[in-house]
Chains A and B, each alone.
Chain A
């Protein structure tokens, strides 16, 4: 529609606001053409759940960890860190790139305590607004410095990945990932797509605990992927939102990244502390790009800062302080490792229980995938219609792609959940 025409017609028509006797006269708006946005598919689930008055309701929608009572958890190590930092520091602006202490610790976690890349200062890294912010910064960086490049995104993936690269105006392609029949990895198609992509393509890879499927390549498969990437000279960008949360062991969860590093790839990596440290609302994360040398890393970092400046100037301090306090203190770090293993173990336990329950109910389907998959999510294989039934008939809230957030499953609700799933799938 000709916005100009609309504007000029508004300019002549616009009536002054006169609030009189409690009855206000409507005036025409500049934004009358703005349509309501569709609800976010993931966060919309929680909204709906909260609005539901049923006592039986279960939220297995958003990926936020819950304890066995279904309650949100703040880790002990986080509480202790907060006690230590309370009242100690002023709230002066962080440098544009964020807290250097936090960045240092984040890199050690991702690249290895003794990583030569860190020692050689080859990693351009900035504190970012959790995983989302890190991905967005990278997408914007990609757009600005490699304007002809595109991003290959797995099918399926976290929905917001598409939004991020779209708003950064980087064209998207997809590559095969999930195999619906086996509810596992479609490895041959994946490799085919990697091979067929033009040399030097950018690929988004989930480092561990793929969201939403929970399906990860095996170590051997990662090696083959890395090898093929080498011959195609592709750029691997890792989104690592679940380090420590998948297997319980952060080192193990970083295996894919380490394989690629060993093979000589120059990678990019988005890290989030939302899940593994339970810092969801603090928006603590890190974006890193491994460069050729220190000088290049300095240049790249300066450009990442330049991208962040007109988005938020400098990142929020509180979450960063928590992260650096925990990771920088051997005692607290040890406590954190225990707690993160505890969370991962509880989820692994729930996977086993859910599967057993379904099998005991005599389900005709195979539910192996529940225990084969890893991390917070289980791709159940249920259809949107079946999910709708779960919601409407059983007050069970999850995303319509059949993704179950295992973090929301407890000993208290696993039986109810299994029964409901059985009912809608038998």
Chain B
């Protein structure tokens, strides 16, 4: 490692004790020598001729490149910077009210108030998280009377929302199924790849989105899953597929299960929108419960970011439904062992909120009502957008896919340039894959958005 070197400058050797770095910066800024230059310039540095009280070290991290901006969160940043009045943020998937304001659920406020009054302590949770939360979350997912829960075959560990839960599962797969890969849908949530990459789990894609129909490429999906090596993990979105909003029908889910069974694959569900898609917790859990009923061992990552609006509290869970309680115990112990060197134990606040809401019958009912309202608003917005598009678009294009899609997002079918036109000309901020977040759309703005979409679709290539 090269030791420090500065070219001799006119900077006087003032007493540097206690302020060595000021000199270094001063020298750099004066332009008398180019300290932070990379590559060949570095070799051109001369050594200090005057005694410097303290040497400043050359950083080891000088060659660290700037990471690219996150494609999704970057949209919000651009939106914030825009001054146009008509602007709309259709980027990140966080629910907004009709007034386009963030929304803290009433049940959450009530739960927090209860918690404040109770004044519970802030001791470490066990590595696996809050027991009351773990029990509630598994029951919510599978139904309290589900056989897998009754026979204690479900290993549940509280995780850092969906991301953290996925990461724990990925780390487990890397350690215990080192020859297996994961299949993810094309497209899928951007962070899925990052999670499996960083966990060292190889992945490949299965066809999912069909741009011709703006719907599901079911045949492609089945073919690709069939072609995967036996014993692969198939990452499935439980409901409200992100980013397309396109879900398989119940019949299609059954056929998907058939293929997984035939190939000995393991289903790995990402459930980030339970209750948020249709408005019903049970209905949205259909796909997961189907696979569990069929006798699969299943991984399920859950998130309460959207359905309880607890985004920043980072609350979720990883569930592994196993073939026996003995296996479940061992799997749980190893999930804990993976979590310990990541963050020791999970944050308590969000877990308590969920446990309080689900544990109180009144709050639970109220929550279901609020969830129906949120899902309802999104359905209404879809309808309005569809109506506006159908009325205004004289080309006869069929926009009904918007009604068939479900959940927070809609894949509009717009390509990159068209999406860019949405932003540059119409100040509609969205991701370049054509995805819009309906959670960020109000009834009042549907008209304008329809104009923007029609223009971008027909007039831009």
A residues sitting closer than 8 Å to B (CB atoms) are 3-4, 7-8, 10-11, 14-19, 24, 26-37, 40, 43, 47, 62, 64, 72-74, 78-79, 82-83, 86-87, 90-96, 116-117, 120, 122, 129-130, 132-133, 136, 140, 145-146, 160, 163-164, 166-168, 199-200, 230, 233, 235, 262-266, 274, 278-283, 289, 291-293, 295-296, 298-300, 302-303, 305-307, 309-319
Q: A263 to nearest B CB, angstroms?
A: 6
B126 to chain A: closest residue by CB = A43
A117 to chain B: closest residue by CB = B21
Q: B43 to nearest A CB, angstroms?
A: 17
**Structural contact, A163 and B341, CB atoms closer than 8 A:** yes
Total A-B pairs, Cβ < 8 A? 299
Query: Which residues B50-78 have CB closer than 8 A to chain A?
Result: 54-67, 70, 73
Question: Can you list 16 contacts pairing A with B, beta carbon distance less than 8 Å?
Answer: A4-B231, A30-B297, A31-B327, A31-B330, A40-B337, A78-B122, A87-B104, A129-B160, A129-B344, A145-B61, A166-B341, A292-B59, A298-B66, A310-B195, A310-B199, A311-B164
A3 to B314 alpha-carbon distance, docked (Å): 35
Contact check: which of A90, A164, A296, A318 meets B62 at CB < 8 Å?
A296
B residues sitting closer than 8 Å to A (CB atoms) are 1, 3, 17-22, 25, 28, 35-36, 54-67, 70, 73, 92, 94, 102-104, 108-109, 112-113, 116, 119, 121-127, 147, 151, 160-161, 163-164, 167, 171, 176-180, 191, 194-195, 197-199, 230-231, 261, 263-264, 266, 293-295, 297, 305, 309-314, 320, 322-324, 327, 329-331, 333-334, 336-338, 340-350
A305 to B297 alpha-carbon distance, docked (Å): 34
**Structural contact, B349 and A282, CB atoms closer than 8 A:** yes
**Structural contact, A37 and B264, CB atoms closer than 8 A:** no
Contact check: which of A3, A16, A167 meets B178 at CB < 8 Å?
A3
**Structural contact, A278 and B314, CB atoms closer than 8 A:** no
Contacts of A295 in B (CB 8 A): 36
Contacts of A29 in B (CB 8 A): 297, 322-324, 327
Contacts of B61 in A (CB 8 A): 145, 289, 291, 296, 299-300
The 9 closest A-B pairs by CB, nearest first: A17-B295, A11-B264, A281-B348, A312-B160, A317-B312, A7-B231, A163-B341, A129-B343, A310-B194
Q: A84 to nearest B CB, angstroms?
A: 11
Q: A293 to nearest B CB, angstroms?
A: 6
**Structural contact, B36 and A163, CB atoms closer than 8 A:** no
A94 to chain B: closest residue by CB = B312
**Structural contact, A92 and B102, CB atoms closer than 8 A:** yes
A33 to B231 alpha-carbon distance, docked (Å): 15
Whether A96 touches B70, Cβ cut-off 8 Å, given contacts A91-B310, A292-B62, A295-B36, is: yes
**Structural contact, B121 and A311, CB atoms closer than 8 A:** no
Whether A316 touches B312, Cβ cut-off 8 Å, given contacts A37-B333, A160-B341, is: yes
A271 to B55 alpha-carbon distance, docked (Å): 26
Q: A21 to nearest B CB, angstroms?
A: 12
**Structural contact, A31 and B331, CB atoms closer than 8 A:** yes
Contacts of A200 in B (CB 8 A): 1, 60
Contact check: which of B58, B127, B191 meets A292 at CB < 8 Å?
B58
Contacts of B176 in A (CB 8 A): 31, 33-34
Q: B375 to nearest A CB, angstroms?
A: 19
**Structural contact, B191 and A313, CB atoms closer than 8 A:** yes
Most buried by A among B36, B297, B338: B297
A96 to B65 alpha-carbon distance, docked (Å): 18
Q: B131 to nearest A CB, angstroms?
A: 12
Contact check: which of A7, A82, A281 meets B230 at CB < 8 Å?
A7
**Structural contact, A280 and B123, CB atoms closer than 8 A:** yes
Give me 15 other A-B pairs in contact (C-beta within 8 A), A129-B344, A311-B164 excluded.
A4-B179, A10-B231, A11-B230, A16-B294, A27-B295, A95-B73, A122-B21, A129-B342, A233-B57, A281-B122, A299-B61, A311-B342, A312-B160, A316-B313, A318-B347
**Structural contact, A37 and B334, CB atoms closer than 8 A:** yes
**Structural contact, B342 and A133, CB atoms closer than 8 A:** yes
**Structural contact, A36 and B342, CB atoms closer than 8 A:** no
A403 to B91 alpha-carbon distance, docked (Å): 51
